[in-house]
Structure 1
């Protein structure tokens, strides 16, 4: 088991001791979420897929994976989300890995890095899915969105675009017109939908 922290329910004031669960890393190490001692928990009122997972780094090999967000059920009926220290990206490889984990989690279990250069428009492929991960420091433009859409159209596949720096206004407009799902990779490694097609992709394949 992982570290333990004191938790006070914001609804009833009851005190708990919460111990983080441990999960197995492929390297053989046990991985636990780094809890924030003393930080107040958040009451869960409505669940969303993005908030169910946290990115945790293995202390044994450095691998970063997404694991269930630590939660605690209070006897008063409140469900509490336990704060976790954020993990930031260390490399472009981490960003591509985070995007792949997200796609696997919503129903594309066989997605893999394609091996093609990012300029080719595709970083990840799987049965029925092609995706690009933009590692640039400038917002993705409409041309990049169109190239991904064409790649997906050629293969009769679903597309998904992930960006570290966000999207230019014309890129968002073009993506909405073409139905390309856009995701923003936030500093903690969590892909967040930024347009309607992205939200629909998560719902329809989860």
Structure 2
């Protein structure tokens, strides 16, 4: 049974009951950040990528992975970081955090997370990249014009949580970034793609995915269908 801990807002003194969500490890076991019942919640004053993620070890297989840091939104307007035990929020990603997926024919079913926030969308995309077989998934060094960039060995990806379809410029900017890094590229959108953006992606061979609210990427063009079916084994370099 999931652990429930009390979280008190230091601004309004309201107390919340919080349960940490469990995310699927690559081995298939659920992993949840360890909550500290004795610690105090900390208000989020500004966003820093490294502070939004924590490194947690899977009890089943021993792998370490990066997961979103638990947070609670208080009705008074304050966002609270839930205290944790035995987790390192500043640990840098390593290859051990993102082991390759099994060969195409033997891959387990993809398991994702429900999307409620932009951070959930990034988490879903990162889990999917790992499932495809990409190693060392991390935040991209170069920030895209819109959305959030992810990178792994040999690939850059853009996660676009905007409420409007991705544009031709969005797709072309991603392609140019990938060209400068001699990498493949993928695009994840929550709301789809403009017609000219999709046509250009088809011409350039860029896989396009739409993330549904369950966090499952749905291929929407031929390159995406090929990548989804075979993972990195079928991806041309």
CA RMSD after TM alignment: 3.1
Distance between the aligned counterparts of 1:164 and 1:50, measured in 2? Answer: 25
Match of 1:172 in 2: 198
Structure 1 residue 115 displacement after superposition: 5.6
Does 1:23 find its partner at 2:49? no
**1:158-199 superposed Cα distances (whole Å, 9 cap, x missing partner):** 100000010111111110011111000011100111101112
C-alpha distance in 2 between matches for 1:94 and 1:176: 27
| Aligned twin of 2:232 | 205
> Partners of 1:23 and 1:123 in 2: how far apart?
27
User: Following superposition of structure 1 onto structure 2, how do residues 37-76 of structure 1 map, counting pairs within 5 Å?
Assistant: 52-55=109-112, 64=113
Aligned to 2:218: 192
Q: In 2, Cα distance between the equivalents of 1:201 and 1:115?
A: 24
| Length-normalised TM-score, structure 2 | 0.52
Gaps of 5+ in 1: 3-21, 31-47, 56-63, 65-86
Q: Is the 8 A contact 1:50 1:192 kept in 2?
A: no
For the structure 1 residues 95 and 104, does the alpha-carbon distance in structure 2 shift closer, same or farther, using more than 3 Å as the test?
Answer: same
Q: Distance in 2 between matches of 1:49 and 1:147?
A: 34
Residue 132 in structure 1 maps to residue 158 in structure 2: yes
The answer as to whether partners of 1:132 and 1:161 remain within 8 angstroms in 2 is yes
For 1:126 and 1:175, the matched residues in 2 are separated by: 20
The runs of 4+ residues in structure 1 deviating greater than 3 Å are 48-51, 115-118
Q: TM-score of the superposition, structure 1-length normalised?
A: 0.59
Alignment partners' CA distance in 2, 1:28 and 1:167: 39
Tell me what 1:145 maps to.
171
Tell me whether 1:97 sits opposite 2:114 in the alignment: no
Deviation at 1:120, TM superposition (A): 6.5
What is the rounded CA distance, in whole Å, between the counterparts of 2:226 and 2:171 in structure 1?
A: 17
Identify the residue that residue 62 of structure 2 maps to in structure 1. Answer: none
| DSSP 3-state at the match of 1:53 | coil
> Residues 118-171 of structure 1: CA distance to partner in whole angstroms, max 9, x if unpaired?
417761011100010111101111111011011111111010000001011111
Aligned length: 140
Q: Is 2:208 the partner of 1:182?
A: yes
Q: Any unmatched runs of 5+ in structure 2?
A: 3-27, 36-57, 59-104
2:147 and 2:160 in contact (8 A); partners too: no
